[in-house]
Structure 1
Amino acid sequence: MAEERGEGPAPVLTARGLVREFRGFRAVDGVDLDIAAGDVHALVGPNGAGKTTLFNLLTGFLRPTAGSVLLEGRRELAGRSPETIARLGVARSFQITSLFAEMTPRRHVELALASRTGLGWRFWRSDRALDRFAPRAAELLDQVGLGEHGDTLAGALSYGRKRALELALALALDPKVLLLDEPTAGMGVEDVDRTVELVRRIRTGRTVVLVEHNMNVVASLADKVTVLQHGAVLAEGPYGEIRNDPRVIAAYLGDSHAAR
């Protein structure tokens, strides 16, 4: 259980003074961020606001020009490799899926589970080595709604189911913090609704950070919203406050969202 303070649960992930420059351009400009344990925390803003760059800094895919990222207030993540950060409990999904088309969802998840063990790449040599992970793989596939598709080739899955498989791969790492980059991008209404329900289910016992353009999804899921503008924090708070902030309305959401 998260440590309780006067203002709520203690942060599980903290960024201070986070900066990332590309040839003099500041894509992330002095961001301070507190992700409370157990929350769904949304990062919103238009293209170019710095959301994905910030994601990459939190998960080790980019090194910060300046600043720090702390896990549970004590482990410095800035400068560590993505693999090390994932082993420490911070996992992410990507906006663009990257799956093996000729491999089944079951085998994808078994390999992800095996990657957390001392087997290393030796598990490729034997199907028997993966059998030990079959029960847990089946549980994860059921959790993301793919229980009946475990033996379908990944290339034959619909787009929404591919995104669900990617989520199962992230969950296989048993993360404390799960970062989702545009989890509903490119989805129809039915898949969006299914994904929202899925995130509601898998948030139990973990913290979720998501980048999302669909403000209906943000309104449905987020406990807290951080709005970015030009790589800096413009506003932060519950969705009900953010949607009525004149700066946010002017910069991102528009009057139609403010009225919701």
Structure 2
Amino acid sequence: MGERPTETGSGAVLEAPVLKARGLVREFRGFRAVDGVDLDVAEGGVHALVGPNGAGKTTLFNLLTGFLKPTAGSVRLGEHELAGRSPESITRLGVARSFQITSLFAELTPRRHVELALASPTGLGWRFWRSDKALGRFSARAGELLDEAGLSGHADVPAGSLSYGSKRALELALALALDPKVLLLDEPTAGMGVEDVDRTIELVRRIRAGRTVVLVEHNMNVVASLADRVTVLQHGKVLVEGPYAEIRHDERVITAYLGDSHAAH
């Protein structure tokens, strides 16, 4: 039987978690970067992980996606235990990670990037020996994903010629090619100007339909615009969790991260 939705202290009903961590610990030479974190990510929501530098956000993100193995604790996707699995195995179970270090091929078009991702069972093994004819059967779906990512007008230009924001959008299209249950976005607006940030917010709003999104994000305007639920980390522990409208007024959060200016708005 699946888990039932739970009621929060404020009376809001949360959907049953699709991704759940319990007692998650990661130590580096005795230092606990993540220290006993419990996390429930509700199905169909956008869940933001925030906190000051050194809070453990990136380490937690890496534990959820298999790029790090936990010292202790559990990460579950439905009935599947993820802790200890490889990133490729976790991807196959339906957890896709995007917005990492850009690893695009400058001479390949966005369309060909997405066709290759669709042709690969995991989206990770680029298969250059596939013929154009073999890739052709993925063309229609590639076009749909590029349109969803706002790149239909740039589908057939070299990826190297794309703007920084468009390259990040292409990375998102590649993650969507895996048809993930849970999409994890690592600093999706890092390094962007205001226009690209606004476009990325709209892009995530478009692609979230029918999906669960987890994002690490420093820009609190992005968090306010997108997140249904926010987990604030400090010193590797969960400081507070709840809707943005509630946590933004929490004195612990203001002191730790947001600053007095956010509390006043």
Fold match by TM threshold 0.5: yes
**Cα distance, 1:94 vs structure 2:** 3.1
Alignment root-mean-square deviation, CA: 1.8
Distance in structure 1 (CA, Å) of the matches to 2:91 and 2:127: 20
Instruction: Report the TM-score when normalising by structure 1.
Output: 0.95
Superposition deviation, residue 115 in structure 1: 1.2
Residues 251 and 172 from structure 1, CA distance in 2 versus in 1: closer, same or farther, beyond 3 angstroms?
same
Alignment of 1:105-254 (within 5 A): 105-116=110-121, 124-254=129-259
| 1:97-112 → structure 2 map (5 Å cutoff) | 97-112=102-117
What is the aligned residue count?
Answer: 258
Q: Which runs of 5+ in 2 are unaligned?
A: 8-12
What are the superposed Cα offsets for residues 105-146 of structure 1, whole Å, 9 maximum, x if unpaired?
11110111111279x765634222211111000000000110
1:21 matched to 2:19? The reply is: no
> Relative to 1, partners in 2 of residues 1:165 and 1:117: Cα closer, same or farther, differing over 3 Å?
closer
* Identity rate, percent: 82
Give the counterpart of 2:16 among 1, 7, 10: 10
SS in 1 for 2:249: coil
**Structure 1 Cα separation of the partners of residues 220 and 200 of structure 2:** 14
Tell me how far 1:102 sits from its aligned partner. Answer: 1.4
The worse-fitting range, judged by mean Cα deviation, of 76-85 and 124-133 is 124-133
1:3-30 Cα deviation digits (max 9, x unpaired) = 5445421000000000111111111111
Distance, in Å, in 1 between the alignment partners of 2:106 and 2:113 is 10
Runs of 4+ in 1 over 3 A off after TM superposition: 1-7, 120-123
The answer for the alignment partner of 2:10 in structure 1 is none
The yes-or-no answer on 1:34 pairing with 2:32 is no
Structure 1 distance, partners of 2:177, 2:75, is 23
Q: Distance in 1 between matches of 2:57 and 2:89?
A: 22
Amino acid at match of 1:11: P
Normalised TM-score (structure 2): 0.93
Give 1:69's aligned residue. Answer: 75
Q: Name the SS for the 2:129 alignment partner.
A: helix
Give the partner amino acid of 1:158: S
Distance 1:117 1:248 in 2: 39
- Match status 1:90 vs 2:95: yes
The CA distance in 1 between the partners of 2:21 and 2:60, in whole Å, is 10
**Secondary structure, counterpart of 1:124 in structure 2:** coil
Report SS of the residue matched to 2:73: strand
